[in-house]
Amino acid sequence: MRDRAALRWRLVAFVIGLLMSACAPAYDEVADRLVSVAQMRFDEGAVALISAARRAEALRARTPLPPTSVLNEAGARVAFAANQSWYDAADTALNAARLRVTADPATPAQIDASFQAIQDNLDDLRRTHESQDRLGSAVLIAARREINRQYHAIMTYMLLVRSGKQPAR
């Protein structure tokens, strides 16, 4: 995962940008829904993967160890190959939301930067998972937390636009 300080700086820059924007774009219900769907699609898969990782870890910690077939089955659920379609779906949903939200020329550049931060973190998670094949629950929990923070920033912006309020200068 990228340096957390850099990610937090992006989030701070996003919030500052919101406050300094001259005007907010018009509310777009479809864009708002796409952002929510993208976040939910990411989170559903992340939660399922974390649960599978915790189960595999719990089985490996048992004494005596369960049968090899049980360990292999639990490990297979955490393997990259079993989760590749989730990465694809999360990436597709993120891209659809990003394209719709940033299509409005009044959308602040910080919003696109926040989408890029999510994409970078999702790509990093995918590459790490692919190279290691299986990830532990601690890594997955940290990634979920960070990506959801970034989605939260975008969703906060969408709520501001929906309310019709313009960010303070």
For the entire predicted model, the pTM comes to: 0.81
Measured between alpha carbons, how far is 45 from 84 in angstroms, rounded to an integer?
10
Q: Where are the domains of the chain?
A: 4-8+44-162
% of residues, the chain, pLDDT over 90: 76
- Residue pLDDT, tens place only, 27-45: 899 999 999 999 999 999 9
Measured between alpha carbons, how far is 122 from 124 in angstroms, rounded to an integer?
5
- Torsion 20-109-96-42 (CA) sign: negative
- Residue pLDDT, tens place only, 82-99: 999 999 999 999 999 999
Q: Which residue has the higher pLDDT, 22 or 101?
A: 101
* For residues 138-162, average pLDDT: 96
> Of 17-21, 62-66, 78-82, 111-115, which range is least confident?
17-21
Question: Where does the pLDDT of residue 50 fall: very low under 50, low under 70, confident under 90, or very high at 90 and above?
Answer: very high
Any long-range contacts for 58-67 (C-beta under 8 Å, 24+ apart)? none
Question: Where does the pLDDT of residue 143 fall: very low under 50, low under 70, confident under 90, or very high at 90 and above?
Answer: very high
